[in-house]
């Protein structure tokens, strides 16, 4: 299936390489090379996927992504980082990226990650859950759009965050190991770690827990994973 993909890359050679291969794979890529040009184009509903470089003239990819997510853009984002920059990858995930790829990269791996992100983006939530709003003590979230009311105010969850929350909702009161979560939400084509899951859960706690330091929704099971519940458990007798 042909998808519209925005490539945000200031290096003309790298950008041309990515565009050429995405077009050969049957997609409709468009490249921009500056923060300002990308900011104008990153609007909800326009792109099926975004390939985003970190370093850009006029700003960085982290701020660009935060602004796009705040405007309601839910398209999956593949972030390009310099090899070995673990801190940059963590910042990208925290800003709302769904996956990352280190430069210099292999084109086949780039295309594989693009396929994986597009495959997992649709459908995100089972049809029976599309119109549902999940109500938590710290706010609420729509599982179809990712729009949410949180302790930090209105936000729009990224595709990966929305998939994770939908998995928790479908598995309420059932223990989920980090391996189960990685396989369901990230799939086998990406290379996240247990720490990646923990970082995403920390973000959900910050948004939806009345007291993130003492969670009642996203509960850690030491040595096992996580347990999700919508309500506060009864006090022990």
Assigned token pair, 10: 């200031």
- Of 57, 108, 58, 61, the closest CA to residue 82 belongs to 61
Assigned token pair, 145: 């759009």
Distances (CA, A) of 164 to 125, 159, 186: 10, 9, 9
In the prediction, which pLDDT does 132 show? 65
Q: What is the pLDDT of residues 33-88, one digit of tens each?
A: 999 999 999 988 788 999 999 889 999 999 999 899 888 888 899 998 875 567 77
Reported residue count of the chain is: 237
Q: What is the pLDDT of residues 9-21, one digit of tens each?
A: 999 999 999 999 9
Assigned token pair, 176: 């989920």
Q: Are 183 and 227 in contact (CB under 8 A)?
A: no
Burial (CB < 10 A; 0-12, 13-18, 19+), residue 24, is exposed
Q: Is the pTM of this model over 0.85?
A: no
| Tens-level pLDDT at each residue, the chain (237 residues) | 678 999 999 999 999 999 999 999 999 999 999 999 999 999 887 889 999 998 899 999 999 998 998 888 888 999 988 755 677 777 777 778 888 888 889 999 999 999 988 877 654 444 444 446 888 887 899 888 888 998 888 888 988 898 899 889 888 888 999 888 887 887 754 566 778 899 999 999 999 999 999 999 999 998 889 999 987 444 443
């Amino acid at each position: 299936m042909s998808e519209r993909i925005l490539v945000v890359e200031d290096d003309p050679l790298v950008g041309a390489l990515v565009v050429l291969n995405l077009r050969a794979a049957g997609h409709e890529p468009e490249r921009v090379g500056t923060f300002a040009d990308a900011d104008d184009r990153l609007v909800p509903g326009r792109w099926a996927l975004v390939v985003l470089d970190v370093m850009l003239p006029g700003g960085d990819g982290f701020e660009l992504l935060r602004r796009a997510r705040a405007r309601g853009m839910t398209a999956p984002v593949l972030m390009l980082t310099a090899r070995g920059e673990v801190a940059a990858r963590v910042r990208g995930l925290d800003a709302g990226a769904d996956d990352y790829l280190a430069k210099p990269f292999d084109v086949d791996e780039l295309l594989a990650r693009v396929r994986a992100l597009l495959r997992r983006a649709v459908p995100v939530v089972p049809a029976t859950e599309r119109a549902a709003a999940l109500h938590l003590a710290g706010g609420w979230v729509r599982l179809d759009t990712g729009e949410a009311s949180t302790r930090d105010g209105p936000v729009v969850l990224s595709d990966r965050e929305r998939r994770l929350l939908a998995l928790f909702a479908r598995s309420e009161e059932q223990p989920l190991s980090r391996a189960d979560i990685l396989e369901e939400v990230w799939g086998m084509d990406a290379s996240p770690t247990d720490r990646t899951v923990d970082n995403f859960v920390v973000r959900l706690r910050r948004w939806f827990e009345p007291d993130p330091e003492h969670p009642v929704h996203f509960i850690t099971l030491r040595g096992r994973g996580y347990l999700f519940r919508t309500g506060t458990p009864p006090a022990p007798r």
